[in-house]
Amino acid sequence: MKAIAICVATTIFVATVAADDQKAREHVVLDRCLDSWHEKSCREAAALGFAQAALILGIMYRTGHHVLKDDEKALLWLTQAARKGETRAQITLGLMFRHGDGVPQDGAQAVSWFRRAAERGNPFAQLNLGLIYSEDEVVPEDRIEALIWLNRAAEQGVLKAQLALGLLYSLGPQQDDARAAAWYRRAAEQADPTAEYILGMLYDEGRGVPEDPSKAVLWIRRAAEQGVARAQFRLGVLLAEGRGVRRDAEAAIKWYRKAARQGHQEAQDRLDMTNRGAIRVAPDNIEHL
């Protein structure tokens, strides 16, 4: 009996070692694909069932990298990778079907592939799924689904999702200025200039937040310093009026000039009406007439 037990144990050990050796050899094939992006190596790795290799082949054929561009082969390999759970392939297919890029535009297919990746927690897929449902372009608009998926992406820190939520809560029959302000604040805290400007305007007008001119100046100034023409003009107005900040006509003109250089007509009009002479601000320079 002892001899039989030893024999069985030896057989199991040998089989395990052989299996480990086989896995090691297979991973060498995958590593060659990952390192070289060579078609033959990646085909060999894909034949062994590696989703990463199928993804690379799909990208190669989609972009024409090291191979002739071929939309049909790109779709084939990306689909193979996506069905094996490769999130990047699922998102790529979602984008392709959403925009009709290399395939006929198909909203249902886009939603299906984005959903697979989104349900696994991928924030970029969640963002795209939310945007599809909010835009009413390739699938019927569904505000509830849009809010669900955009919230999930936004909670993971996706800036574009936070901005989209701010916009969604600002519009429509279920408008909620307080929630809009909360999401714009989250985006503004990531230094997004659009969110900074909108949050500043909300404080200026008392929408969704208590009216607070000093906070309005704070956020609008941040956006203005990042080159947002609307913010530069509004900061000029606040400085000219002394709203939330000490009145400073010189500083106001400085910000009007910055906005006018970007083609902001109201800023140009303000400059033309100043008592400092007729000043015309061209897109690239300042001329005193």
For the segment 226-262, what is each residue's pLDDT rounded down to a tens digit?
Answer: 999 999 999 999 999 999 999 999 999 999 999 999 9
Of 137, 156, 175, the domain-final residue: 156
Q: Is the pLDDT of residue 10 over 70?
A: no
| Mean per-residue pLDDT over the chain, rounded | 89
Is residue 97 a part of any domain in this protein? yes
d(CA 62, CA 162): 31
Task: Say if 167 falls within a structural domain.
Answer: no
Q: What is the predicted pLDDT for the residue at 281?
A: 41
Asked if 79 and 98 sit in the same domain, the reply is no
Mean local confidence (pLDDT), 161-174: 91
pLDDT for 3: 59
- 102, 61: one domain: no
Q: Single out the residue in 156, 174, 201 at which a domain terminates.
A: 156
Classify residue 265: in a domain, yes or no.
Answer: no
Q: What is the CATH number for 90?
A: 1.25.40
Domain encompassing residue 98: 85-156
pLDDT of residue 22: 66
Residue whose token pair is 């989209």: 164
On whether residue 151 sits in a domain, the answer given is yes
Provide the pLDDT for residue 120: 96
Hey, what are 243's tokens? 């709203």
| pLDDT (mean) for 131-150 | 92
| Residue 71 included in any domain | yes
Same domain? 76 vs 119? no
Domain boundary at 84, 107, 134, which? 84
Query: In this model, does residue 171 exceed pLDDT 90?
Result: no
Convert the pLDDT of each residue in 172-227 to its tens digit: 777 999 999 999 999 999 999 999 999 999 999 999 999 999 999 999 999 999 99
80 and 92 housed in the same domain: no
Q: Is residue 51 part of a domain?
A: yes
85-131 pLDDT, tens digit each: 999 999 999 999 999 999 999 999 999 999 999 999 999 999 999 99
pLDDT-derived band at 274, boundaries 50, 70, 90 = confident
Q: Supply the pLDDT for residue 8.
A: 45
Instruction: Identify which has the larger pLDDT, 204 or 288.
Output: 204
Same domain, 22 and 76: yes
Shared-domain flag, residues 45 and 101: no
Q: Is residue 133 part of a domain?
A: yes
Better pLDDT: 194 or 13 = 194
Greater pLDDT, 212 or 11 = 212
In this structure, the answer to whether residues 27 and 79 fall within a common structural domain is yes
Q: Are residues 71 and 90 in the same domain?
A: no
Q: What is the reported pLDDT for 285?
A: 38
Question: Residues 99, 126: one domain?
Answer: yes
What pLDDT was estimated at residue 5?
Answer: 52
Q: Are residues 28 and 72 in the same domain?
A: yes
Whether pLDDT at 55 is above 80: yes
Q: How many domains does the chain have?
A: 2
Is 248 domain-assigned? no
Q: What is the pLDDT of residue 138?
A: 87
In this prediction, what percent of the chain has a pLDDT beyond 90? 80
